[in-house]
Amino acid sequence: MNNNDIETHPFAPFLPPQAKLLMLGSFPPPSIRWKMNFYYPNLQNDMWRIFGLIFFQNKHYFFTQDNKAFNEPLIKAFLQQQGIAISDTCYQIRRLQNNAADKFLKVITPMDLPSLLQQIPACQHIMTTGDKATHTLLQLLPADTPIPSIGHPTTARLAKRQFTLSRLPSSSRAYPLALERKAEIYQHYFQNIGLV
């Protein structure tokens, strides 16, 4: 393998200055699967359906009119208004297979977490959306940081700040949980941190 196999993250972190929550996934799928140039761009990923159900009781709220793509400006405006930042834990990766599956991603360079958090000084909560994201995040935190699990948040200190860490179900269809049940778990989380 050579350096040509290494992919650098295609999206800049989305960091509303007043954000209280930082959502972290792992890495976008290959660009052939994108339906917008933003996080969770694969139509088979349910993140924006989950958000639509929670905040607007409509799983297609963040779709274009024909439901064949995501409405990127609408998603960004909503996140900006709600104070939700989004990034991924991996800055550079190598795909061991040509797909988006976390288990076939090799992390080459993790993202610069201190730099990210410096840009969102009001952030108190960090949420990961899958095993790879959680595992990679923990490598960027103090070694004694307890591992969060679904429904059981932990806390971490970094750069003289304290954060709650929460692990939520992956929004990928590969994660075996019904969309409505995922939405319930996410809604409960957002209610607990005061975003709903």
| Cα–Cα dist 83/121, whole Å | 12
Q: Give residue 99's domain range.
A: 3-192
Confidence (pLDDT) at 97: 79
Closest CA to 132 of 178, 85, 167, 181: 167
| Cα–Cα dist 187/2, whole Å | 43
Looking at residue 48, which CATH number applies to its domain?
3.40.470.10
Indicate the number of domains in the chain.
1
b vs e for 107-123, b when ≥16 Cβ sit within 10 Å of the residue's Cβ?
Answer: beebbebeebbeebeeb
Token pair for 192: 């607990």
Instruction: Per residue of the chain (196 residues), give pLDDT as tens.
Output: 455 689 999 999 999 999 999 999 999 988 898 999 999 999 999 999 999 999 999 999 999 999 999 999 999 999 999 999 999 999 999 988 776 667 778 899 999 999 999 999 999 999 999 888 999 999 999 999 999 998 899 999 988 899 999 999 999 888 889 999 999 999 999 999 999 8
Rg of the chain (C-alpha set): 16
Confidence (pLDDT) at 1: 45
Alpha helices (runs of H) in 84-148, residue ranges in sequence order: 113-118, 131-139
Confidence (pLDDT) at 3: 54
What pTM was computed for the model?
0.93
